[in-house]
A and B are shown apart, each in its own frame.
Chain A
Amino acid sequence: MENEWPLWEVFIRSKTGLDHKHVGSLHAADAAMAIENARDVYTRRMEGVSIWVVESRYIHASNPDDAEALYDPANDKVYRHPTFYDLPDELKHM
Chain B
Amino acid sequence: MKFLLNYILQLADNALIHGHRLSEWCGHGPVLEQDIALTNTALDHIGQARSLYQYAADIYNQLDSAERESLFTSAALLQFRDQATEDAMAYLRDSWDFKNALLLELPNKDWAYTIAKCFLYDNFTVLLYSALSGSADATIAAVAKKSLKEASYHRKWSNEWVIRLGDGTPESHERMQQALDDYWTYTGDLFKLSEADRKMLEQHIGTDVSALYDQWHSDIAAILNTATLILPANEWRQEGGKDGRHTESLGYILAEMQYLQRTYPNAQW
A36: CB under 8 A from chain B? yes
B33: contacting residue among A30, A32, A40, A44, CB under 8 A: A40
Least distance between B42 CB and chain A CB atoms (Å): 12
Q: Determine chain B's interface SS by DSSP, over half rule.
A: helix
Least distance between A91 CB and chain B CB atoms (Å): 47
Cβ contacts B31-59/A at 8 Å (1 or 0 each) = 11110110010000000000000000000
Least distance between B78 CB and chain A CB atoms (Å): 40
Max chain B CB contacts within 10 Å: which of A28, A40, A44?
A40
Docked CA distance A56–B159 (Å): 26
B157: CB under 8 A from chain A? yes
A37–B33 CB distance below 8 A: yes
Q: Which 3 pairs, one residue from A and one from B, show the smallest C-beta to C-beta distance?
A: A37-B33, A40-B37, A26-B33
Cβ contacts A25-40/B at 8 Å (1 or 0 each) = 0111110110011011
B160–A37 CB distance below 8 A: no
Of the A-B pairs whose beta carbons lie under 8 Å apart in the complex, a sample of 18, sorted by A's number, is A26-B32, A26-B33, A27-B31, A29-B164, A30-B164, A32-B160, A33-B160, A33-B164, A36-B156, A36-B160, A37-B33, A37-B34, A37-B36, A37-B37, A40-B33, A40-B36, A40-B40, A41-B33
How many B residues are at the interface, by size bracket?
Answer: 10 to 19
How many interface contacts (CB-CB < 8 Å) are there between A and B?
Answer: 28
Docked CA distance A41–B156 (Å): 16
B164–A36 CB distance below 8 A: no
Among residues of A, the one whose C-beta sits closest to the C-beta of B43 is A44
B157–A36 CB distance below 8 A: yes
B-contacting residues, A30-59, CB 8 Å: 30, 32-33, 36-37, 39-41, 44
Contacts of B153 in A (CB 8 A): 39
A-contacting residues, B153-186, CB 8 Å: 153, 156-157, 160, 164
Docked CA distance A50–B23 (Å): 27
Docked CA distance A29–B160 (Å): 11
Contacts of B32 in A (CB 8 A): 26-27
Contacts of A44 in B (CB 8 A): 40
Besides the known contacts A27-B33, A40-B33, 19 further A-B residue pairs in the complex with CB atoms under 8 A apart: A26-B32, A26-B33, A27-B31, A27-B32, A28-B33, A29-B164, A30-B164, A33-B160, A36-B37, A36-B157, A36-B160, A37-B33, A37-B34, A39-B153, A40-B36, A40-B37, A40-B40, A41-B33, A44-B40
